[in-house]
A and B are shown apart, each in its own frame.
Chain A
Amino acid sequence: MPNMQSGRCTSFFILPGGVDPPHPCFRSSLQLHDSTSTMLSGILVFNQKGENLIFRAFRSDCRPRLADIFRIQVISNPQVRSPILTLGSTTFSHVKHENIYLVAVTKSNANAALVFEFLYRLIMLGKSYFGKFDEEAVKNNFVLIYELLDEILDFGYPQNTDPDTLKMYITTEGVKSAITNNPTDSSRITQQATGAQSWRRADIKYRKNEAFVDVIEDVNLLMSATGTVLRADVNGQIVMRAYLSGTPECKFGLNDRLLLDPGESSSGGRGNDSGLGTSRATRAAAGSVTLEDCQFHQCVKLGRFDADRIISFVPPDGEFELMRYRATENVNLPFKVHPIVREIGTTKVEYSVAIKANYSSKLFATNVVIRIPTPLNTAKTTERTSQGRAKYEPEQNNIVWKIARFSGQSEFVLNAEATLTSMTHQKAWSRPPLSLSFSLLMFTSSGLLVRYLKVFEKGNYSSVKWVRYMTRAGSYEIRF
């Protein structure tokens, strides 16, 4: 075989017919071993038509032909029911976002969780760079995307993917590239890109030191047709916007029961601006919540949290998600919905949906949208509401009832009727659940409160902190 001499392997490597090789490395294949390595062979981006927008191979085993295979096997195949597809020894893991497919190609027994997390991180990066990460953005910025991919993956191993750091040296307009061409700035940037605090520059200065804390809760509800709560829980996130000079050490306290109860001697008492007493009884009386689980931003010292439940961190500059949490006990549901749906013969469905706000009359929710499913063969609908507007959206098979402003303790009703066309083949209606979306300020479904945020810095400056609470609908479904 003459062509054995060429190729990318050294001559040492290419021995005819697999004769026992002299070097120890060679024998490795005789043992069955496989890496649990995390490497990706390539990243591909497609549009919905299956056109390959980005093809970046990180390993030589990611061949151009793979793009065709993915297109045929996944994009043009309506039967695909899994995000992971292995063909031969090639695995395609894909995520769909907006109108593009993002695909990771792996050849080994890759770490599947990491692969998907990485794809989602890529989406996040895209959004952070281009506002929206869709086909248009990819087409308009493909050079930058290649540049990003080159930076965040090396030989298929993810590197620093922090958007703020990356934005320091990979920029959309050529403007800032002057900085990267300057060696001293570059050393500083690279220092940060790899440092222990890869998320923060050292020389940040603000005239006014401020920190904004947003507690945002997504409340999930699944209610049965008989009105029992099957499942109610809260996925919360705490987003912080920190405009603080220097290297501030922050400590953050919540009315989390685990935070309050076990550590009697913890920092709770000292410098506590919420005015709570230190005895356990008063704490309990003040109302505390049980957080099922918390997850923290890279900057939080997990060891400290694990040992004494103290959330301590040096924040990145600007906006970041400090933590996520989950709560399942004593969830306050902001809305109670009572749907009555009657199917009259095969020609008509009657709806009467009452919705009541279950929060203080001082508060009000905005953008309340109730989606009421209608059968697939609905011909027309009539709606009457005591508040807001209702409209039939045939493409979604929904009656959409919108109430722009919903004050606490009030109650509104919708009466509607859907007329059905007769069908030759009468199929039962599956009655998908009714769903709600809304946002409600100054209310947390879990009852979570921020007790304190303390900032310690060498400069010893004073800082102003702001807290805001908001509850939104996550998956808020009511069966009927």
Chain B
Amino acid sequence: MAMNKIRGAFAVPRKGETFELRAGLVKESIQKTIMAMTLGKDVSALFPDVLKNIATGDLEQKKLVYLYLMNYAKSHPDLCILAVNTFVQDSEDPNPLIRALAIRTMGCIRVEKMVDYMEEPLRKTLRDESPYVRKTAAICVAKLFDLNPVMALENGFLETLQEMIGDPNPMVVANSVTALSEIHHSAPETKALQINTNSLRKMLMALNECTEWGRVTILSTLAEYKTTDVKESEHICERVAPQFQHVNSGVVLAAVKAVFLHMKNVNPELSKTYLKKMAPPLVTLVSSAPEVQYVALRNIDLLLQKQPDILQKELRVFFCKYNDPPYVKFQKLEIMVRIANDRNVDQLLAELKEYALEVDMDFVRRAVKAIGQVAIKIESASERCVNTLLDLINTKVNYVVQEAIVVIKDIFRKYPGYEGIIPTLCQCIDELDEPNARAALIWIVGEYAEKISNAGDILGGFVDGFNEEFSSTQLQILTSVVKLFLKRPEKAQGLVQRVLQAATAENDNPDVRDRAYIYWRLLSNTSDSEATKNIVLSDKPPIVTTIHSLPPALLDQLLTELSTLSSVYHKPPEQFVGHGRFGADAVQRAAIEEQLQNARENPLAAAAAAAADGTAPPAQAQNNVENLLDIDFDGGAPASAQNEPASGMSGLEGLAGTPVRVASPAVGAPSQANNNLDDLLGVFGDSGPAQPSAGAPSGSADLMNGFSGLDLSANGGGQNKKSNDDIMSLF
């Protein structure tokens, strides 16, 4: 009715110059309206004016009106109904482009009332003669399910989609799989996507014919499929492996994932051939666009942790180009260290030395660190590594020297025999201004105190400035002085008293004070002087590796997530995405959605609303906060997220920068990233003992990084702590 009225008003001649001019005018105005919409201006007031142009023969104009509708339908749900007629009519238009457009747009108008009118057109278009319309309708089922699952289920649309996997058109197959897969993942109870021998065959057939994006969907679905027997696995591998040669990296990685996961079931010989086959395409990804390269490199890192020898001969491919973006360079460094072996180590060292002389401080530090990792990984190359590090120390570039010292400390823990270089190290003492580097050198002096004639003088210098040091350095000074005293009591009698005095009386850091008391107590134990030595000077277990590796369980989980964000972050998806879209949290979200929208200009009110919802179970609260995070990005919001450590962490890491930066074993970065996070973490108690056991290793690793000074004496310290109780009882 209303439509007719509107049409009546516009009953002008349908041809001739005036008509064309008028049409042009109308279209231009709509274009301007949409322009304003993009710029964020609120043009929703024009809704009726734009809407009346919907019934047009001009496809371009129709698309413009539809675009406008999709954007503002929510604010004018009642007016939207006026458009229904046109939609329904269009969905029966002889032109398949218009039929598809109608059904596509209908699904995007997320207004409850629209849903009732969608049923019939959707049913028809799903059976349309044109594959273009069918493939559009297939996706529309997912849209409907998102809006109103009951209706999608009751109308049997899911069954229709399942039948459509057998469609003769590959794109229809791909989109049906896409839609079913989305429904299945958001509501597993529907069992929307059940693969059987028949649908498997259909999908494998469509795989070679559909678009590259469709291939990614099908390959991901195949990867998730649990095969029934070895034959089936073999078959999938056989059919998927040719996709390694596809030009789209998304397809290549999806194929790698599918083969990698199904390969486990086939015989070892065969799986070896597949491993061999996937290496060249992986290497090729390294020459793609930097962002794609980055994703590929992070994935290669994962694959190498599982299969360390797949890229053994490919070291050179990972050499950094001068103009590579830093995130690519850092990742290449890590991979090079992973594939280093005694055959390519010379090449690698020459290259790392080159990097260590560049200007980007962060990159240089990582290069130096890599040299240390190689030294510890490949025993036969350790001498060359140490020499390279000495060369670097001789450059006198401040941050190179500091990093080199930190690295050499680790090398001493594996190869104590390099003590000959200690004099060279001690010469740099005045250049060290970072707590890490100072602590490292002090540790070395303490460890080799009996062989360094002026150890007392060196440590004496540090004891003089004890109160100005960072606490990580103070702990190290304390330990080293005690070591010196135990090894050469005559030299350090005064020193040890001074340092214990300073640490207990003038220091307000409880860790430092506690450790000082422990040593004091130990040293005053005159009945068994050997016991103290046994504790403080005990042999430390040698370092096996300094290369960061993921725990096996997490690694296996991440391998099922190849190519996804999860594989880029090396974190399970739960840590950075909301849980499911249908359920408690979705309800909660729906409920606060309106509030948030109203409160958009007023973050405080929104925060208050979220706080009010805080009575809900943790999962919900956390999701509220994610909403808040999205909308009012003011950092105050995450507070209530702390109910759940894992996701709370992820949010915070996001705040501080990219999680990648946090996750990678960076030297300087973590301490910067953590600056105010530490406070937050501390406040909410997440950094406490619960954290490591909560299965968030990457997160806790960062924390550990911050305490690398402590790490050093972990062994001695651990034993000390056992006696801690006794001492405590004394007070």
Chain A positions within 8 Å of B, measured between CB atoms, are 1, 3-4, 6-10, 12-18, 21, 23-39, 51-55, 57-58, 60, 63-67, 69, 72, 79-91, 93, 95, 106-114, 116-120, 142-143, 146-147, 150, 154-155, 157-162, 169, 174, 177, 180-183, 186-187, 189-191, 193-196, 198, 220, 222, 224, 230-231, 233, 235, 292-298, 300-303, 305-306, 321, 323-324, 326, 428, 430-433, 435, 475, 477, 479
Given contacts A29-B585, A86-B569, A193-B132, contact A55 B250 (CB under 8 A): no
Closest residue of chain B to A64 (Cβ to Cβ) is: B40
* Most chain B CB neighbours (cut-off 10 Å) among A37, A67, A154, A479: A154
Q: What are the residues of chain A within 8 A of B321 when measuring CB–CB?
A: 222, 475, 477
A371 smallest CB distance to B (angstroms): 11
CA distance A190 to B239 in the complex (A): 28
B247:A190 contact, CB within 8 angstroms: no
A322 smallest CB distance to B (angstroms): 10
Q: Interface readout for B594-627 with A: 1 if CB under 8 Å, 0 if not?
A: 1100101000000000000000110110000111
CA distance A377 to B464 in the complex (A): 42
Q: What are the residues of chain A within 8 A of B26 when measuring CB–CB?
A: none
The answer, yes or no, to whether B698 is at the interface (CB within 8 Å) is no
B149:A116 contact, CB within 8 angstroms: no
Closest residue of chain A to B224 (Cβ to Cβ) is: A36
Closest residue of chain B to A185 (Cβ to Cβ) is: B95
CA distance A155 to B142 in the complex (A): 8
Partner of B563, one of A89, A112, A177, A224: A112
B591:A1 contact, CB within 8 angstroms: yes
Partner of A479, one of B133, B249, B354, B564: B354
B358 smallest CB distance to A (angstroms): 5
CA distance A454 to B189 in the complex (A): 53
CA distance A105 to B625 in the complex (A): 18
The answer, yes or no, to whether B470 is at the interface (CB within 8 Å) is no
Task: Tell me whether chain A's interface is mostly helix, strand or loop, or mixed.
Answer: mixed
B38:A53 contact, CB within 8 angstroms: yes
CA distance A66 to B599 in the complex (A): 16
Closest residue of chain A to B255 (Cβ to Cβ) is: A302
Q: What are the residues of chain B within 8 A of A36 when measuring CB–CB?
A: 185, 220, 224, 561, 564
Q: Interface readout for B145-159 with A: 1 if CB under 8 Å, 0 if not?
A: 001111101000000
23 A–B contacts from the bound complex (CB under 8 Å): A7-B593, A8-B74, A33-B188, A82-B661, A83-B327, A86-B569, A88-B651, A89-B629, A90-B629, A107-B577, A109-B564, A109-B565, A109-B577, A110-B564, A112-B563, A112-B564, A112-B565, A143-B31, A180-B59, A190-B96, A196-B169, A293-B245, A306-B242
CA distance A305 to B591 in the complex (A): 55
Q: What are the residues of chain B within 8 A of A198 when measuring CB–CB?
A: 171, 211
A174:B241 contact, CB within 8 angstroms: no
The answer, yes or no, to whether B58 is at the interface (CB within 8 Å) is yes
Q: What are the residues of chain B within 8 A of A106 when measuring CB–CB?
A: 565
Partner of B316, one of A33, A108, A230: A230
Q: For residues 565 through 597 of chain B, which have their beta carbon under 8 Å from a beta carbon of chain A?
A: 565-569, 573-574, 576-588, 590-591, 593-595
Given contacts A79-B657, A116-B292, A194-B172, contact A428 B397 (CB under 8 A): yes
B132:A194 contact, CB within 8 angstroms: yes
B632 smallest CB distance to A (angstroms): 8
B115:A10 contact, CB within 8 angstroms: yes
Q: For residues 244 through 280 of chain B, which have their beta carbon under 8 Å from a beta carbon of chain A?
A: 245-250, 252-254, 280
Closest residue of chain A to B111 (Cβ to Cβ) is: A8
Q: What are the residues of chain B within 8 A of A17 when measuring CB–CB?
A: 616
The answer, yes or no, to whether B678 is at the interface (CB within 8 Å) is no
Given contacts A37-B185, A83-B290, A88-B629, contact A190 B97 (CB under 8 A): yes
Q: What are the residues of chain B within 8 A of A177 when measuring CB–CB?
A: 58-60
The answer, yes or no, to whether B682 is at the interface (CB within 8 Å) is no
Q: What are the residues of chain A within 8 A of B654 when measuring CB–CB?
A: 85-88
Given contacts A25-B189, A295-B245, A298-B212, contact A38 B217 (CB under 8 A): yes
CA distance A34 to B132 in the complex (A): 29
Given contacts A29-B579, A36-B220, A81-B327, contact A88 B630 (CB under 8 A): yes
B211:A13 contact, CB within 8 angstroms: no
Q: What are the residues of chain B within 8 A of A12 when measuring CB–CB?
A: 148, 150
* Most chain A CB neighbours (cut-off 10 Å) among B131, B132, B181, B569: B132
Partner of A25, one of B74, B187, B569: B187
Given contacts A36-B561, A86-B659, contact A111 B216 (CB under 8 A): yes
Q: What are the residues of chain B within 8 A of A220 when measuring CB–CB?
A: 287
Q: What are the residues of chain B within 8 A of A195 when measuring CB–CB?
A: 131, 169, 171
The answer, yes or no, to whether B209 is at the interface (CB within 8 Å) is yes
Given contacts A28-B582, A305-B242, contact A174 B60 (CB under 8 A): yes
Given contacts A7-B594, A83-B291, contact A293 B213 (CB under 8 A): no
Given contacts A25-B189, A37-B182, contact A81 B326 (CB under 8 A): yes
Q: What are the residues of chain B within 8 A of A295 when measuring CB–CB?
A: 245-247, 252, 281, 284
Partner of A109, one of B96, B188, B359, B573: B573
CA distance A111 to B564 in the complex (A): 4
The answer, yes or no, to whether B112 is at the interface (CB within 8 Å) is yes
B89 smallest CB distance to A (angstroms): 14
A107 smallest CB distance to B (angstroms): 7
Given contacts A18-B588, A120-B289, contact A10 B148 (CB under 8 A): yes
Classify chain B: how many residues form its interface, as a range: 35 or more
Q: A4-B591, A109-B564, A305-B245 are in contact. List 6 more A-B contacts (CB 8 A).
A: A3-B598, A18-B587, A52-B38, A198-B171, A231-B317, A295-B284
Q: What are the residues of chain A within 8 A of B358 when measuring CB–CB?
A: 430
Partner of A110, one of B212, B565, B588, B629: B565
Q: What are the residues of chain A within 8 A of B651 when measuring CB–CB?
A: 87-88
Q: Interface readout for B310-336 with A: 1 if CB under 8 Å, 0 if not?
A: 000000110101110111000000000
A105 smallest CB distance to B (angstroms): 10
CA distance A177 to B139 in the complex (A): 25
A27:B583 contact, CB within 8 angstroms: yes
Given contacts A25-B149, A25-B189, A292-B280, contact A180 B655 (CB under 8 A): no
Partner of B250, one of A6, A72, A113, A189: A113
The answer, yes or no, to whether B208 is at the interface (CB within 8 Å) is yes
Q: What are the residues of chain A within 8 A of B294 when measuring CB–CB?
A: 82-84
B631:A63 contact, CB within 8 angstroms: yes
Q: Interface readout for B201-215 with A: 1 if CB under 8 Å, 0 if not?
A: 000000011011100
CA distance A182 to B96 in the complex (A): 10
Q: 3 tightest CB-CB pairs across the interface, nearest first? A: A29-B583, A190-B132, A88-B629
Partner of A112, one of B567, B585, B588: B567
Q: What are the residues of chain A within 8 A of B130 when measuring CB–CB?
A: 187, 190-191
B151 smallest CB distance to A (angstroms): 8
Q: What are the residues of chain A within 8 A of B67 when measuring CB–CB?
A: 146, 150
Closest residue of chain B to A293 (Cβ to Cβ) is: B280
Q: Interface readout for B394-421 with A: 1 if CB under 8 Å, 0 if not?
A: 0101000000000000000000000000
A31:B188 contact, CB within 8 angstroms: yes
The answer, yes or no, to whether B64 is at the interface (CB within 8 Å) is yes
The answer, yes or no, to whether B106 is at the interface (CB within 8 Å) is no
Q: For residues 652 through 677 of chain B, which have their beta carbon under 8 Å from a beta carbon of chain A?
A: 654-655, 657-661
Closest residue of chain B to A94 (Cβ to Cβ) is: B291
A87:B247 contact, CB within 8 angstroms: no
The answer, yes or no, to whether B104 is at the interface (CB within 8 Å) is yes
Given contacts A112-B567, A113-B249, A294-B245, contact A85 B658 (CB under 8 A): yes
CA distance A32 to B245 in the complex (A): 35
Partner of B185, one of A34, A52, A174: A34
A80 smallest CB distance to B (angstroms): 7
A18 smallest CB distance to B (angstroms): 4
B57 smallest CB distance to A (angstroms): 7
Q: What are the residues of chain B within 8 A of A142 when measuring CB–CB?
A: 34-35, 38
CA distance A113 to B629 in the complex (A): 26
Q: What are the residues of chain B within 8 A of A4 when measuring CB–CB?
A: 590-591, 594
The answer, yes or no, to whether B726 is at the interface (CB within 8 Å) is no
* Most chain B CB neighbours (cut-off 10 Å) among A1, A194, A297: A194
